[in-house]
């Protein structure tokens, strides 16, 4: 088609997403480049964690790397990378390239339960997150299209959408309405257990649960969840609290440092 002949004068910093030329194809293709990368994940408006790892592959518009903690598909993360200038779309003179990415894939690759490892793939969305992200950093997003710079446009994820036709690792996490026995452990600043209670879940998924409790905890509080059946402990954060029609308090918690082992449930 001749409609694209005029695009030959574009620079490499202005990709043509519909029919990329040789220069743009090189920028889109992932290349193996084990650069150090700092990955920052916000738990809520006050709490975040970060990990320094290395890229497994990268392009101008996305990257892959390994993490010791899982990150939900649809989460936004901030990456800081000493990116080659020819792969940057801005900040060409800065020593570090700070760019936001949308998690598109997070697959457990651990060979040992003592050394968890997750392969993460992100799509770059640009220099800034959406405005509402600053108020709701745990919000999940989906890709819509690419903008003129080649970055991905995103929108808030439809958590009720049917994704049954997707591969299992790309599906949203199913909640199972079953009573799973757990112990909730409250920790002090030294990491010591100060209080604990044995309880059961109202529902549970790979990434979180609603649990019955007598604790009066506010959203943002951290605790450790001990799965009796699996003999595993998971650092978790309280996302919400509600009282059911039976008068019993439920905590809505998100698992932080690993996914819940649902073998035997799914």
Distance of CA 33 to the CA centre of its chain: 22
106 inside domain: yes
- Structural domains of the chain, count: 2
**Residue 164 pLDDT level (bands cut at 50, 70, 90):** very low
- What is the structure's pLDDT at 3? 41
Are 155 and 38 found together in one domain?
Answer: yes
- Report the distance separating Cα 59 and Cα 29, nearest Å: 6
| DSSP H or E run through 27 | helix 22-28
Does the pLDDT at position 85 exceed 80? yes
- Report the distance separating Cα 142 and Cα 135, nearest Å: 18
Are 130 and 245 found together in one domain?
Answer: no
| DSSP H or E run through 107 | strand 97-108
Does the pLDDT at position 26 exceed 50? no
- What is the structure's pLDDT at 47? 72
155 to each of 3, 131, 143, 235, how far by Cα in Å? 30, 12, 6, 29
Are 63 and 160 found together in one domain?
Answer: yes
- What is the structure's pLDDT at 126? 92
173 inside domain: no
Strand-pair partners of 188 = none
Where is average pLDDT lowest: 70-84, 86-100, 106-120, 194-208?
106-120
Q: 77 vs 191, which has greater pLDDT?
A: 77
- Report the distance separating Cα 181 and Cα 176, nearest Å: 13
Residue pointed to by tokens 């480049």? 33
Mean pLDDT, the chain, whole residue set: 80
Are 110 and 194 found together in one domain?
Answer: no
* Sign, Cα dihedral of 77, 83, 88, 90: positive
- What is the structure's pLDDT at 174? 74
Structural domain that includes position 208: 181-255
- What is the structure's pLDDT at 158? 64
For residue range 180-231, list pLDDT tens digits in order. Answer: 999 999 877 666 788 999 999 999 988 889 999 999 888 777 788 999 888 8
- What is the structure's pLDDT at 97? 96
Q: What radius of gyration, in Å, describes the C-alpha atoms of the chain?
A: 21
Neighbours of 76 (CB within 10 A): 23
Q: What is the CATH number of the domain that holds 46?
A: 2.40.10.220
Q: What percent of the chain has pLDDT over 90?
A: 36
**Residue 19 pLDDT level (bands cut at 50, 70, 90):** very low
Does the pLDDT at position 153 exceed 60? yes
Residue pointed to by tokens 């004068």? 9
Of 142, 166, 190, the one marking the end of a domain is 166
Q: 176 vs 94, which has greater pLDDT?
A: 94
Does the pLDDT at position 10 exceed 90? no
Are 58 and 153 found together in one domain?
Answer: yes
- What is the structure's pLDDT at 212? 96
**How much is the average pLDDT of 84-97?**
93
Cβ atoms of 169 and 105 closer than 8 Å:
yes
**Residue 167 pLDDT level (bands cut at 50, 70, 90):** low
């Amino acid at each position: 088609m001749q409609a694209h002949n005029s695009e030959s004068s574009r620079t490499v910093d202005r990709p043509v997403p519909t029919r990329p030329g040789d220069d743009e194809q090189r920028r889109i293709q992932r290349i193996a480049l084990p650069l150090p990368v700092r990955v920052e994940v916000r738990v809520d408006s006050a709490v975040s964690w970060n990990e320094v790892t290395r890229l497994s592959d990268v392009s101008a518009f996305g990257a892959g790397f390994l993490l010791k903690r899982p990150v939900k598909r649809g989460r936004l993360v901030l990456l800081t990378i000493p990116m080659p200038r020819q792969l940057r779309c801005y900040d060409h003179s800065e020593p570090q390239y700070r760019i936001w990415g949308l998690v598109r894939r997070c697959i457990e690759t651990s060979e040992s339960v003592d050394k968890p490892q997750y392969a993460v793939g992100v799509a770059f969305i640009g220099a800034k997150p959406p405005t509402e992200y600053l108020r709701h950093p745990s919000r999940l997003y989906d890709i819509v299209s690419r903008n003129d710079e080649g970055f991905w446009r995103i929108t808030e994820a439809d958590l009720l959408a049917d994704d049954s036709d997707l591969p299992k690792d790309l599906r949203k996490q199913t909640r199972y309405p079953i009573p799973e026995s757990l112990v909730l452990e409250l920790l002090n600043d030294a990491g010591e257990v100060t209080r604990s209670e044995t309880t059961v879940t109202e529902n549970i998924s790979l990434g979180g649960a609603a649990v019955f409790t007598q604790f009066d905890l506010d959203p943002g509080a951290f605790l450790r969840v001990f799965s009796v059946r699996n003999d595993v402990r998971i650092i978790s954060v309280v996302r919400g609290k509600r009282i059911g029609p039976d008068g019993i308090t439920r905590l809505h918690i998100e698992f932080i440092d690993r996914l819940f082992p649902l073998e035997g449930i799914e």
